Amino acid sequence: MSTELERLGTHLAELLDWRVAVATEVESVLRLDREGLRAWRERALVEAVARARRGSAFYGRRLGEAATALTEHGDVTALTRLPFTTRQDLHDGYPFDFLAVPRRDVARFGESSGTSTGKSIAAYFTSRDWITNNCTVAHFLKQVLTGEDVAAVAVPYELAGVGQDLDRSLELVGCTVVALGALTQFCPPERMVDILRETGVTTLVCSGTRALYLAQVARARGWEPRQDLKVSKVLFAGEGASPAKRQKLHEVWGARSYAMYGMTETNTLGMFCRQDALHLIENRSWFEVVHPETGEPVEGGEVGELVVTSLRSEAMPLVRYRTGDLCRIEDKPCPCGSALRTVRHQGRLADRVLVNQTPISQLQLEDVIMSHLTDAPFYFAFKSSGAELLVGLTASNMTDRVRNAIRADLDGRFRIPASFTLMSEETFEQSIRSAVKPTMKSFLIE
């Protein structure tokens, strides 16, 4: 063998060894028992905050001496005395104010547009950050997928990490990956459905809204999704999942659905297990739940805003980042055996709809309205008029039976009145087809 080839072989072997070491470390942490995991997390928290303060310009200014009790004396209870990091901080620090490693160590760069401000926020990862996340996601995917599965990924690959990360993780499980993406001009819904059928896709990775729409497209092409296609699993990404939407997906596709949770700037925060619980990714982040107005920690098991501190992010560590998501952490052991706690996601704070002085999450409204729709397509829209909720339905569901059931349920659960308006199926379909990430929000009545 020539010297050049020997050098190449050595380089590749070292690279592979390093990747195996990262993957092995991920698995060893995920296999710790509860006590072992707690001790590991506390050590990791002290190191992570120290690294953020030392490495990132933002935290060098923001944390200062306030973090000393944590970083020098190992007092993890001091975390709750540190200031929060907000989405506004990430906007203001765009792109590299949070960078905590030399620029050349950044292996991947992504960004997300602000949901309300329109300003971008950056997200970047070292190779170790990236592979750690891929391996963690693959660890959970393996609970419901095997190498026999054909997985179609219909979420954005552009800039946002979710498509790229799931793609890599599915590959690690050994699935056949069909990278549909969400660039609808190149791969419109009709082509997506044709590919699902031709390649025998078993697993659809997308928002629930898109999964329901693809079933409609299949029907329009003369195929009955339950009989003519092989989709048996829907992995939710990019949108919360109400029980009613999961039920509808089951009816339409004959599929079981599983929820994942994350955001571009934090990467994955929650993954499903075989028991269909959503486990917090506690080997990568430290989680708190705080009162959305006061910022004070809420009592165990109550709903509040999820706050995230990175434990393993080298490139872009975050300390007490307010996610804007309403969550409830559950501390009881899951039958799957994982020591990671589970979480119930209750929708985004900013997406709550105020009706009659009552703030209601969009997910709760979806659950009420969708559970009473009797005929596909299961489209609906809503808007608060202040005193009541205006609900948009298509002709197929605009019946006395559906309206009365929704009205009674909204009154029973939230004590709010409702009125109804007729909407065309085309209105909904135009919204879905023009959205890179079609979600229930596409359906808000303007």
Q: Which of residues 67-96 bind Zn ion (CB under 5 A)?
A: none
- Rule CB under 5 A: say whether 440 interacts with Zn ion: no
Q: Are 123 and 263 in contact (CB under 8 A)?
A: no
Q: What are phi and psi of 353, to 5 degrees?
A: -105, 130
Collect all residues with Cβ–Cβ distance below 8 Å to 47 and sequence separation of at least 6: none
Instruction: Check residue 260 for interaction with Zn ion (CB under 5 A).
Output: no
In sequence order, what E strands does 174-231 have?
A: 176-179, 203-206
Minimum distance from residue 330 beta carbon to Zn ion (Å):
11
Closer to Zn ion by Cβ: residue 275 or 374: 275
Bond from prior residue into 292 cis (ω within 30 degrees of 0) = no
| Secondary structure of residue 166 in the 3-state scheme | helix
Please, what sign has the CA dihedral across residues 434, 437, 443, 444? negative
Q: Are 351 and 361 in contact (CB under 8 A)?
A: yes
Question: Nearest distance from residue 338's CB to Zn ion, in Å?
Answer: 5
Query: Which residue, 308 or 334, is less far from Zn ion as judged by CB?
Result: 334
Considering only residues 179, 336, 349, 398, which one is a binding residue for Zn ion as defined by CB under 5 A?
Answer: 336
Closer Cβ to Zn ion, 10 or 275, answer by number:
275
What torsion, rounded to 10 degrees, do the Cα atoms 83, 87, 88, 93 define? Answer: 90
CB 434, min distance to Zn ion, A: 37
Q: Which is nearer to Zn ion, 275 or 434 (CB)?
A: 275
Residue 329's beta-bridge partner residues? Answer: 343
Nearer to Zn ion, 273 or 315 (CB): 273
Rounded to 10 deg, the angle between the 400-414 and 362-372 helix axes is: 150
| d(C-alpha 258, C-alpha 273), whole Å | 8
334 contacts Zn ion (rule: CB under 5 A):
yes
Task: Give the count of residues interacting with Zn ion (CB under 5 A).
Answer: 6
Cα torsion at 219, 223, 225, 228 (round to 10°)? 180
CB of 340 to Zn ion, least distance (A): 8
Footprint of Zn ion on residues 268-297 (CB under 5 A)?
A: 273, 275, 277
Contact window for Zn ion (CB under 5 A) among 51-59, 201-209, 234-242, 334-342: 334-342
**Distance of closest approach, residue 38 Cβ to Zn ion, in angstroms:** 18
Q: Which is nearer to Zn ion, 231 or 334 (CB)?
A: 334
Smallest distance, Å, CB 85 to Zn ion? 29
Site for Zn ion in 167-206 (CB under 5 A): none
Kindly list the residues in this chain that would bind Zn ion in the complex (CB under 5 A). 273, 275, 277, 334, 336, 338
